[in-house]
Amino acid sequence: MHTLIFATNNQNKVNEIQSLVGSDFKIIPQKEAGIDIDIPEPHDTLQENAYEKAITIFNITNQNCFSEDTGLEINALNGEPGVKSARYAGEGRDFQANIDKVLINLDSLENRTAQFRTVICLLWKGTNGMETYYFEGICKGHISNEMHGEKGFGYDPIFIPEGASKSFAEMSIEEKNTFSHRQKAVTQLFEFLRSR
Ligand code: IMP
């Protein structure tokens, strides 16, 4: 059984990933590991931010850990909000303000295609020291004209994945996981760990 600390304070991410874990892994959210800090995300790429979160927790715990950073990339907005998804409408990290800004910016635009992209950084204690691995998951879809649904978090109420006719916020965690960026990245992480 592999035990891994998950470097996040986002309970929604924890819930989505916990629902994918089999009995062969134990995922410990950073808070349960006794770490109550908010790790900054100062970089220009998801990969660098994911590394920053993971290395901060690794340096404190010296245990195998992983983190993930996710962005919503909207084609007509040149990939915005992207790496700035959490703070698109300001430092308050307000989900509703972020959604409002997306809907306003897309108002006169026809192309509403977008994708969520998740990058996971795994820091693994190998025989010759710490090893770093990355896993990526992409979910393509489009931005709806208005909000639908109450579930999920972040941009879920305005994102409709390809192959679905409802938003992520209208889906259970299990249904969201059949489409999601996070599930695709985590599945690769678990496959890698099973091969260790
Ligand atoms: P983070 O920097 O990876 O924590 O995520 C950046 C922001 O992207 C979050 O604050 C959410 O607004 C948004 N986000 C991340 N993952 C999802 C998701 O699965 N659905 C909807 N929004 C998400």
For the domain that residue 183 is a member of, what is the CATH number?
3.90.950.10
Atom of ligand 1 nearest to the CA of 181: 19
> Which pLDDT score, from 0 to 100, does residue 22 have?
81
Tokens 């979160």 sit on residue: 53
Q: What is the dihedral of CA 171, 89, 121, 161, to 10 degrees?
A: 30
Distance between CA 55 and CA 122 in Å, rounded? 9
Q: Of ligand 1's atoms, which has the minimum distance to the CA of residue 10?
A: 4
Q: Which residues, 6+ apart, have CB-to-CB distance to 174 below 8 Å? A: 19
Give pLDDT, residue 77: 98
pLDDT of residue 161: 98
Going by CA atoms, what residue is nearest to atom 2 of ligand 1?
A: 69
To test the pocket of ligand 1, the residue of 10, 45, 85 to mutate (highest count of ligand atoms within 8 Å of its CB) is 85
Other CB atoms within a 10 A radius of the CB of residue 109 amount to 12
The residues facing 3 across adjacent strands are: 26
CA of 85 to the centre of ligand 1 (A): 6
In the beta sheet, which residues pair with residue 27? 4
CA of 166 to the centre of ligand 1 (A): 18
- Domain count within the chain: 1
Is the four-CA dihedral 43, 46, 50, 51 of positive or negative sign?
Answer: negative
Say which residue the tokens 């999920």 belong to: 152
Nearest Cα residue to 22 out of 182, 190, 174: 190
Place of tokens 């990939």: 79
Residue 1: partners with Cβ closer than 8 Å, 6 or more residues away: 23, 24, 25, 26
Out of 24, 36, 44, 69, pick the active-site residue. 69
Show pLDDT as tens, one digit a residue, over the chain (196 residues). 889 999 999 999 999 999 998 888 899 999 999 999 988 888 999 999 999 999 999 999 999 999 999 999 999 999 999 999 999 999 988 999 999 999 999 998 999 999 999 999 999 999 999 999 999 999 999 999 999 999 999 999 999 999 999 999 999 999 999 999 999 999 999 999 988 8
Ligand 1 atom 4 nearest Cα: 69
Ligand 1, pocket residues at CB < 6 Å:
10, 41, 69-70, 72, 85-86, 93, 95, 98, 116, 152-156, 168, 182
Q: Which domain holds residue 179?
A: 2-194
Report in angstroms the alpha-carbon separations of 74 from 31, 95, 105, 109. Answer: 32, 16, 10, 11
Cα-trace Rg, the chain: 17
Q: Strands, E, within 108-182: which ranges?
A: 113-126, 129-143, 159-161
69: annotated active-site residue: yes
